[in-house]
Each structure stands twice: as structure tokens, then as C-alpha cells.
Structure 1
Amino acid sequence: MIKKTPSWLAIAGDRVTVTLTRPSEANGVQVDKLNLRAPTVRDMRTAHQTGGADDEQREMNLFASLAEVSTKDLEGLTLKDYTRLQTGYFRLVQEDEL
């Protein structure tokens, strides 16, 4: 079953663009979209090493790396926008439909 792509999510090869519900600060500027690149094995290993046993911290570290923002920037997102980032991430790493 193919899932419909939400209007706030754009998928282009090895990256996704997530449109936020409201502007948020990222790297000192106001943005209304965040891009996530596809993770590498190195990204995953680094997130596990820096996040320790804390699953939430590992995910925050990984998403911050993929979006090229700080974890503090991600913490400033609304929960709805953070959930959009999670959705975008899972679309990036899911196996293509056969």
C-alpha cells in the first residue's frame, strides 16, 4: 500500500523538505522549512555515541545533524512540527515499494 505524501512534505532523492506550521529559529534565522538529508551509517553511529542510553537524545542528535541545525533549534519547534520531521525522516529511510 502506497502512502500519500502530505502537502507539507517534499521528497527529492536523498532529502526531504518539511514545511513548518509556523516559522522557527534555525542557526539564528527564522525559517518556515527544514531540510533533512538521508542519514549515513556514520550519522547513526555518532548519534548513538553522543546520545548514550537516552533514545530521545539520540534522535535529537541525529535530526540536528541531518538538518544542520542545533538540538536547541529543534527543541524550539512545536511538537506538531517535530512530528513532521519524524515523518520526513521515516520516509527517507523506508524501503521503496516493490
Structure 2
Amino acid sequence: MNPIVTVQDAVTAFADWLEPTDAELDAIDREMPVIVADIDLLDAHIATLDRTPTEMDERRIRRARRRALAARVELINHAVTVTGLGA
């Protein structure tokens, strides 16, 4: 016999109060450039997993790494500016 708790968890798993708040969605939107840049960097690395990287592959990885770092710097600078920690 299955306990009722598992049924209750399944029923409430999609309750309205489990949805992300507006603040959480805003935070995801602010972090989206970092997420996209990290995905591009992972794609560049994955493309070279089964072979020796060519010069073009190395360039692609370097560019993706620079974009990922620039996106992180931009996010941190924006956070510092918004919170006033830089003053």
C-alpha cells in the first residue's frame, strides 16, 4: 500500500506557491547573458572532445571564454552599481 504522502506530494508539486516569484524571474533574466555565454563555452569544448582541437577550435574556445568572462564582469559590475557597493 502506498502512503498518502506520496500522493499529496504529487498533487501539490504543481501548486501555485511553487512557481518562481517575479524577483526570481528577474534574477534569471539578469543572469541570462552569463548562462548563454557558458553554454557557448561548453559547446566549444564539447566539439573538441573526440578529436584534437584545430587552430579554429582553439580560437572558438578562447572567444567563448572571453565572452563568458565579460558576461560575468558585466553582471558583477551591474550588481555593484545597483546595490551601491562601489561608492
TM, length-normalised to structure 2: 0.29
TM, length-normalised to structure 1: 0.27
Which structure dedicates a bigger proportion of its chain to strand?
Answer: 1
Larger radius of gyration: 2
Which structure dedicates a bigger proportion of its chain to helix?
Answer: 2
